[in-house]
Amino acid sequence: MKKRTMSAWGSAILIFIILMIVTPTIPQSQAYHNFADQRSFLGIPNFLNVISNFPFLIIGLIGLILCFYPEDYFSFSLRGEKIGWTCFYIGVAAVAFGSSYYHLHPNDATLLWDRLPMTIAFTSIMAIFVIERIDEHKGTYSIAPLLLAGLVSILYWRFFDDLRPYALVQFVPCIVIPLMAILLPPMYTHSTYWLWAAGFYLLAKVEEAADKPIYSWTHHIISGHSLKHLCAAMVPVFLTLMLAKRTVQTERISLYKTWKKGSEEERFEHSYSNVAVEETR
């Protein structure tokens, strides 16, 4: 078991090194800091981009409280789950402070404090998924290395002006988690909440890219970046609802097999309903 784990980590590190060799560096564009909505209100610069981070604090604190009180409200069944989810909610709550601090004075130095808590959330979620869907022990022991990898990706960007490691930390979970949620059998019910969370995060990235067009389309009421904060905050909202509602799955079947089974039954029922019934006399 340990040998296979070491092989997996070794393969991942090797793939990462090859990618770093064959791909060009990605410097931080200074245009990134030029957000559409730069209005001040009550003496707060970039007011909406700052206060739209407030939901992260609320849902982060709620999640932390429910992780520990009332006892076992989330009904964690596996070793390491509470540690992983605690790290996740700490990251979510810290986003409110880090992102607000960045948007008060957008520049590379303050951006570090915006991205650091996000990497805590991303890497914690990956560890949680490994715990639940692959192996309980491997997932538990991967929490610290994944958090460290996130920290290193931020420091590498800051010191070498290269976003490639951070991009991997951010986008690999966005691809891997929905796939794992669909293909791997879950231990708990309400697994579709993972897909809702992934959908809202994808929407948030679209809104971030369309910051200025959305600001123009809404007649300067709200920008895409402010909406991005609100949509991204829906990710921990859906995951918290999932934790509150889920129970241990009696029969572990992946979402893909569930959907496939449902479509086959629907086709069978449709075919059966088309069979002509001969009237008896």
Number of domains composing the chain: 2
The percent of residues in the chain predicted with pLDDT above 70, rounded, is: 90
DSSP 19-67: HHHHS---PPPGGGG--S----BTTBTTHHHHHTTHHHHHHHHHHHHHH
Residue 177 in any domain: the answer is yes
Within a domain: 86: yes
Cβ contact 143:87 at 8 Å: yes
pLDDT tens, 103-138?
A: 999 999 999 999 999 999 999 999 999 999 888 888
pLDDT at 140 over 80: yes
| Residues 180 and 229 grouped into a single domain | no
Within-domain flag for 14? no
Q: Is the pLDDT of residue 14 over 60?
A: yes
80 lies in the same domain as 125: yes
Is 238 within the bounds of a domain?
A: yes
Same domain, 182 and 212: no
Is 59 a domain residue? no
Mean pLDDT across 80-97: 96
Is the per-residue pLDDT at 279 higher than 60?
no
The yes-or-no verdict on residue 275 having pLDDT over 60 is no
Q: Are residues 105 and 143 in the same domain?
A: yes
Same domain, 118 and 212: no
Q: What's the pLDDT at 278? A: 54
- Residues 208-267: pLDDT tens digits? 999 999 999 999 999 999 999 999 999 999 999 999 999 998 888 888 888 887 766 666
Q: Do 84 and 161 share a domain, yes or no?
A: yes
Position 281 scores a pLDDT of: 47
Q: Is 103 annotated as a binding residue?
A: yes
Mean pLDDT across 26-45 = 96
The predicted structure's pLDDT at residue 134 = 87
- Residue 86: pLDDT over 90: yes
Note whether 91 and 175 are same-domain residues: yes
- The average confidence (pLDDT) of the chain is 89
Whether 193 maps to a domain, the answer reads: no
In a domain, residue 281? The reply is no
Per the model's pLDDT, the better-predicted residue between 34 and 71 turns out to be: 34
DSSP 57-102: HHHHHHHHHHHHSSTTTT---STTHHHHHHHHHHHHHHHHHHHHHH
Domain that holds residue 159: 76-187
Specify whether 224 is located in the same domain as 150: no
108, part of any domain: yes
Residue 216 shares a structural domain with residue 150 = no
Q: 0.75 exceeded by the pTM?
A: yes
Task: Judge if 130 and 101 occupy the same domain.
Answer: yes
Q: What percent of the chain has a predicted confidence (pLDDT) above 90?
A: 65
Residue 78 has pLDDT above 90, yes or no: no
